[in-house]
Amino acid sequence: MAPKVLVSDKLSETAVQIFRDRGIDVDFQPDLGKDKDKLAEVIGQYDGLAIRSATKVTEKILANADNLKVIARAGIGTDNIDKDAASKKGVIVMNTPFGNMITTAEHAIAMMFAVARQIPEASASTHAGKWEKSKFMGTELTNKTLGVIGAGNIGGIVCDRARGLKMKVIAYDPFLSEEKADSMGVEKVELDDLLARADFITLHVPFTEATKNILSRENLEKTKKGVRIINCARGGLVDEEALSELLKSGHVAGAAFDVFAVEPATENALFNLPNVVCTPHLGAATTEAQENVALQVAEQMSDYLLTGAVTNALNMPSVTAEEAKVMGPWIKLADHLGAFIGQLTDEPIKAINILYDGVASNMNLEALNCAAVSGIMKSVNPDVNMVSAPVIAKDRGIQISTTSQDKSGAFDGYIKLTVVTDKRERSIGGTVFSDGKPRFIQIKGINIDAEIGAHMVYTTNEDIPGIIGTLGATMGENGVNIANFTLGRNAPGGDAIALLYVDKLVDPAVLEKLNATGMFQQVKMLEFDVA
């Protein structure tokens, strides 16, 4: 029997025809996604679900999806899919991360032109029969400094287009290497430097805890007087209330926003202010981009349902069914090793070196590499997956090398991950025990036997008396429950590390109290997906 796919949002007829041509039984109901109850009622009939943003795939819907094998989103954002529930149900979640990059970058450039020349206001005035030529004095882009926050896929295209406009481009991106910046023709700077120098600032980062409110009131006040700010990335990156006040005071000369903290945005602090251009999240809204992502979804879903090939999956590695039985725990280990280093590294990565020992060296190393790199990159971009992570790493000039060797120690096999930056090398090793659980076995060259928990506090210190007492007392005084902890050191009085297993995220203020004791070289909250 042919696989059956439901298309519950608007998808091009060309994409729907791809399913038919590949032998897929496709049910095209572009308005069904708006009816949650009806979708929940019928979803059990289908092997695949193709959506855009209108369909909300909730836990309730997934509870009825007994035959569903794959959900594919035509676009990059998957906030409308309960990925945890999908994973527990065994449903693959795919997206199309590269189909709308050019379109979004072009919209940012268009918005920059619009705010530089006050085009929307001038157009409205002229339509009203006014001729206010002297009122709309603009500014040239040529020779102005553009500050790009986030120089990845979309930000990189914006940099290229801006250089074509003869702008000076400076970029803030912790994962951008000096070599990659040079090849792009941009100057890599720190955020404060960008804020002080940029005539225009454009944001191209995902919304994460690290980027939330990156243009806070404090940072907005550091900007150059007369700056113009463009956000076509994600809502929540800018303090909209603070920006509104700075626009009214004249410190900020203009703003152009395609995305907002709350969407749909029916009211906002930026609305109806002079020289503020607003559009309703149109970054990916071109015929070409919508067609590109629709065609990609149809091809990816068909490939998976007919051949088992997995592309752009967010919750599953790109491996065959046979490999998955053996490699599953090792893929999880590689991801955890990457996540550990990724959460500790806040400077540009030059190289990622991965050593596979023993049984690990005989596995699908490409998939393991992808899992390790994905773990690293997800610390700054949660939309990264095992397919896109190596592409993004390559774009950023990161060199990835792999070494394999026969069994060389006490373990049947292990993986050692080393990340190289201009300042340091950081390494971690891990293995999978017979119980199928990944473990850390070496950190900073210090041997350790540590299970991996969802929430962990990592500390480094000199091996001196009082460390354990300070950790326990500080956590206890602040209501933090320590479920367990693991210690390691390289020699008496030498370097030491600790991993505390806690029940939930620890307030940064508590970690700061540990730092304030002067006993620790590093204190870091870590999170791992152990589901």
**C-alpha to C-alpha distance for 523 and 406, rounded to whole angstroms:** 36
Instruction: Please give, one letter per residue, the 3-state secondary structure of 473-488.
Output: HHHHHCCCCEEEEEEE
Handedness of CA 15, 20, 25, 30 (dihedral sign): positive
Secondary structure (DSSP) of 421-472:
ESS-EEEEEEEE-TTS-EEEEEETTEEEEEE--SEEEEEEEES-TTHHHHHH
- The amino acid present at 75, given as its one-letter code, is G
* 281 in catalytic set: yes
Element of type H or E holding 93: strand 92-94
CA atoms within 13 A on the CB side of 502: 25
- Residue 288 DSSP label: H
Which of 73, 228, 234, 396 is the catalytic position? 234
* 234 in catalytic set: yes
Q: Could you list the beta-strand ranges (E) of 237-283.
A: 252-257, 276-278
Instruction: Please give, one letter per residue, the 3-state secondary structure of 300-339.
Output: HHHHHHHHCCCCCECCCCCCCHHHHHHHHHHHHHHHHHHH
User: Going by C-beta distance under 8 Å and a sequence separation of 6 or more, which residues neighbour residue 385?
Assistant: 95, 97, 312, 313, 314, 374
Which of 73, 161, 281, 455 is the catalytic position? 281
Residue whose pair of structure tokens reads 């902890």 in the numeric block: 485
Contact criterion met (CB below 8 Å) for 151 and 171: yes
**C-alpha to C-alpha distance for 173 and 154, rounded to whole angstroms:** 13
User: Going by C-beta distance under 8 Å and a sequence separation of 6 or more, which residues neighbour residue 113?
Assistant: 119, 141
- Residue 86 DSSP label: H
Which of 241, 263, 347, 425 is the catalytic position? 263
* 299 in catalytic set: no
**C-alpha to C-alpha distance for 322 and 475, rounded to whole angstroms:** 45
User: Going by C-beta distance under 8 Å and a sequence separation of 6 or more, which residues neighbour residue 417?
Assistant: 334, 337, 338, 341, 352, 353, 354, 355, 372, 427, 428, 429
Sheet strand arrangement including 446-451: 399-405, 349-358, 413-421, 425-432, 438-443, 446-451
Hey, which residues are catalytic here?
234, 263, 281
